[in-house]
Amino acid sequence: MSYAIVGLACADRRSFGGLLATGLYQIGHRGGEAGWRWIIIIEGLMTAVIGLLAIVVLPSTVDKARFLTEEERRVASARLIADKPLGLDDHGNAILVREPFSWWRVGQAVFSIKTWLSALSYLTILTALYSFGLFVPTIVQGLGYTAVRAQLFTVPPYAVAAVLTLVAAYVSDRIPSRGPVILCFLPISIAGYAIIRTTTHNHVKYGALFLMAGGLYPSVPPVLVWLSNNYTNHYTRATAIALQLAIANCGELIFTLAHSAMLTLAVQVVSPQPSSTKRQKHRSTRKRTPSSWVCWLRVGFLQRRRSRTCGI
């Protein structure tokens, strides 16, 4: 759930950002600056102020968290200790085991199929998310709204995605299992991309945005948590997470290469007739999302086979 709250910032940033930008744009030409300049100025100042406050407000450890009670600090410290490996001393008492650095532990993450399958899955999800962020404003403008109202109507798909992200995190914690949750939500986004590729009605396209966002954003936290849950050693887990993020963030490069004709495509999305170029771009994204689904089927198969081998 904690990962979901952090990941929730992605969807909230889009939804709340749209509302904030709409309000700031209404300032108009005051102080000799245009409305769009006020968006950059005020949002930049807010970011700087919050960053400076974080230096003072955020504690360095949970023991120094003044916003927690004594009992909450004790429980938080116990959870951190429980996450570390334990051993027994000569008297049978539990002690913390030191984890020395080892290249063998690093190699466990680098050469594990779990790392690469989860990274490939996250890569395809992020690639689809980048394309989603491009098409939302152009599709909304195709409904006939002005620049300000178009900005406002980009909010609902992200708001729905934010709620579903919390639902996915809660369910995956209660099961507890990450893979089935991902397998349930990704087909929703696949259906959204299929609809937006084939329809010629802008209102239907706008409805498909809810399916696309509702399937992609809830899948992100389980992908990240699954990898950290399946490695026990600190250095193996750290290497796997770093490798996963490094590979996944290459999705922006893939997205840029796959959508080289950005300006032309933006015009074609608004056009009532879906051109072959537009179909090809949506087809490429629609194929990458099922790739993530297939990756998680493979991961589930490997985990099940391993459990049978171990007699679990």
| Consecutive H or E run containing 43 | helix 35-57
CA within 13 Å, CB half, 125: 32
> Is the residue at 230 inside a domain?
yes
> Is the residue at 2 inside a domain?
no
Helix (H, G, I), strand (E, B) or coil at 33: strand
> Is the residue at 42 inside a domain?
no
> Is the residue at 214 inside a domain?
yes
CA distance 241 to 225: 9
CA distance 191 to 128: 13
Q: What does each of the 312 residues of the chain score in pLDDT, given as a tens digit?
A: 665 566 566 655 665 666 677 777 777 677 777 777 787 888 889 889 988 998 888 888 888 888 888 888 888 888 877 777 666 666 767 666 677 888 998 999 999 988 998 888 888 888 888 778 777 877 787 777 766 677 778 888 888 888 898 888 888 888 888 888 888 898 898 888 888 888 888 888 889 889 998 998 888 888 888 888 888 788 898 899 999 989 888 877 776 666 554 444 444 444 444 444 444 444 445 445 555 555 555 555 555 555 544 444
Task: Count CB neighbours of 185 within 10 A.
Answer: 23
11, 161 contact by CB (below 8 A)? yes
CA distance 172 to 224: 12
Q: Considering its fold, how many domains does the chain have in total?
A: 1
CATH number of the CATH domain containing 163: 1.20.1250.20
Q: Which residues contact 211 (CB under 8 A, 6 or more apart)?
A: 188, 189, 191, 192, 195
Is pTM beyond 0.85 here?
no
> Is the residue at 139 inside a domain?
yes
38, 245 contact by CB (below 8 A)? no
> Is the residue at 36 inside a domain?
no
Domain limits for position 247: 102-309
> Is the residue at 31 inside a domain?
no
> Is the residue at 120 inside a domain?
yes
Output DSSP code: residue 86: E
